[in-house]
């Protein structure tokens, strides 16, 4: 196995595993630490728990105090151990520790930025694109990103349990044979037991028109202990494509590398989606390191998302101009496999719109003037039209 790195620097004060276990009155045990159910039982939720591990800022204290009234907080011990205890601008910490800024509603902020609710044809099934649907499997995640697009649904307890919804979902799929592609997300479907996930995938695969099944998950980064050979066998049996989510190279730990190896060795195709986040990954060097690191783990960078305008997330969003600048510093400066498509998921339900630095400089008749990755201009001549 090719090991990933944790990308530490000499000045970073990582939270120790021993300190995390002590929060729960336990002694660090490496066997327990590798048990994904132990990790889920020992997630960090409360201000008093984080106070024992981090030098909290006033803004973080307010965020943690108000979190119960806004959007849930949960951080797995695995992910918490990657945080810098002294630096509030730590890129891991900024993703999962709420701040006072979440209470600010900026112009353009939306509760449902992607317009999913208006395209929800039955509870938990969103049909926005002609041949694709989104199946919301559940409302729980291993940890909660502060920029979550579905914060209105995730961890809110408003989504009925899947068994109560599944028959209506299957009826809709059978009645709409134009649907060929089902993305199962939520909440995180990899938090289901192997048996429950197997049953869900079998049910979706039973619909004759369904050709592709994808799972969206951040479990391999938040909870790599969950990725077992048994789980990988379930995914392989149903020919599932897996869309992962990584935001920073520090997340590519040896445990994550082992999880990705287990999946890739089982023949599960792996792609990654990254959200562009201010102060976390909004520079070309960080993203280049992340994307090339993912390739080493056989994970293809697929999308770089402009952060959705979720209510209370303006402090985490960059400008589109910044995103285009970064893309211009990636393309041509690293292998094309490591350059994802930069997209905006159009607010209000318009779907994904690809963005790239301007490459067509001029066009007249059959002549095109094009700009390459280094800024040089080239002419391309169309063939004569009959």
- Residues annotated catalytic, as ranges: 128-129, 132, 141, 145, 148, 150, 308, 345, 352
DSSP secondary structure of 10-75: TT--BPPHHHHHHHTT----HHHHT-HHHHHHT-B-SHHHHHTTS---HHHHHHHHHGGGSS---B
Query: Is the CB of residue 253 less than 8 Å from the CB of residue 6?
Result: yes
Establish whether 90 is an annotated binding residue.
no
CA 138 to CA 132: how far, in whole Å?
19
Establish whether 114 is an annotated binding residue.
no
Helices vs strands, H then E, count in the chain? 14, 13
Measure Cα distances from 95 to 74, 99, 308 in Å: 11, 10, 14
**SS3 at position 222:** helix
CA 115 to CA 347: how far, in whole Å?
7
Q: Angle at CA 290, nearest 5°, toward 285 and 292?
A: 95
CA 224 to CA 239: how far, in whole Å?
21
Of the candidates 157, 135, 137, which has an alpha carbon nearest to the alpha carbon of residue 71?
157
Strand partners, 304: 274, 342
Q: Is 22 exposed, middle or buried (0-12, 13-18, 19+ CB in 10 A)?
A: middle
Annotated binding site for [4Fe-4S] cluster: 141, 145, 148
Q: Which residues are annotated as a binding site?
A: 141, 145, 148
């Amino acid at each position: 196995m090719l090991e990933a790195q944790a990308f530490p620097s000499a000045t970073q004060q990582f939270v120790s595993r021993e300190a995390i276990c002590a929060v729960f009155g336990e002694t660090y045990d490496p066997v327990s630490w590798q048990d994904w159910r132990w990790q889920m039982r020992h997630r960090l939720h409360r201000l008093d728990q984080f106070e024992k591990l981090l030098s909290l800022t006033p803004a973080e204290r307010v965020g943690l105090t108000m979190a119960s009234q806004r959007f849930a907080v949960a951080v797995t011990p695995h992910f918490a151990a990657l945080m810098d205890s002294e630096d509030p601008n730590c890129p891991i910490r900024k993703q999962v520790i709420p701040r006072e800024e979440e209470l600010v509603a900026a112009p353009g902020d939306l509760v449902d930025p992607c317009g999913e609710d208006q395209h929800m044809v039955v509870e938990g099934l969103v049909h926005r694109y002609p041949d694709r649907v989104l199946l919301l499997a559940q409302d729980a995640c291993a940890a909660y990103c502060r920029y979550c697009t579905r914060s209105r649904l995730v961890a809110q307890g408003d989504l009925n349990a899947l068994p109560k919804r599944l028959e209506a979902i299957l009826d809709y799929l059978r009645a709409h044979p134009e649907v060929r592609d089902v993305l199962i997300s939520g909440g995180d479907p990899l938090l289901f037991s192997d048996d429950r996930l197997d049953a869900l995938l079998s049910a979706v695969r039973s619909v004759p028109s369904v050709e592709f099944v994808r799972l969206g998950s951040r479990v391999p980064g938040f909870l790599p202990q969950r990725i077992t050979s048994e789980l990988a066998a379930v995914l392989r049996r149903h020919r599932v494509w897996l869309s992962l989510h990584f935001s920073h190279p520090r997340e590519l730990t040896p445990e994550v590398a082992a999880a990705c190896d287990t999946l890739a060795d089982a023949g599960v195709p792996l792609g990654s989606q990254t959200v562009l986040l201010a102060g976390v990954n909004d520079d070309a060097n960080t993203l280049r390191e992340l994307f090339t690191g993912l390739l080493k783990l056989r994970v293809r960078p697929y999308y770089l998302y402009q952060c959705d305008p979720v209510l209370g997330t303006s402090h985490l969003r960059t400008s589109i101009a910044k995103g285009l600048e970064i893309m211009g510093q990636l393309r041509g400066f690293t292998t094309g496999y490591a350059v994802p498509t930069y997209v905006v998921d159009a607010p209000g339900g318009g779907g994904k719109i690809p963005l790239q630095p301007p490459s067509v400089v001029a066009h007249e008749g059959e002549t095109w003037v094009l700009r390459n990755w280094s800024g040089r201009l080239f002419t391309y001549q169309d063939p004569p039209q009959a």
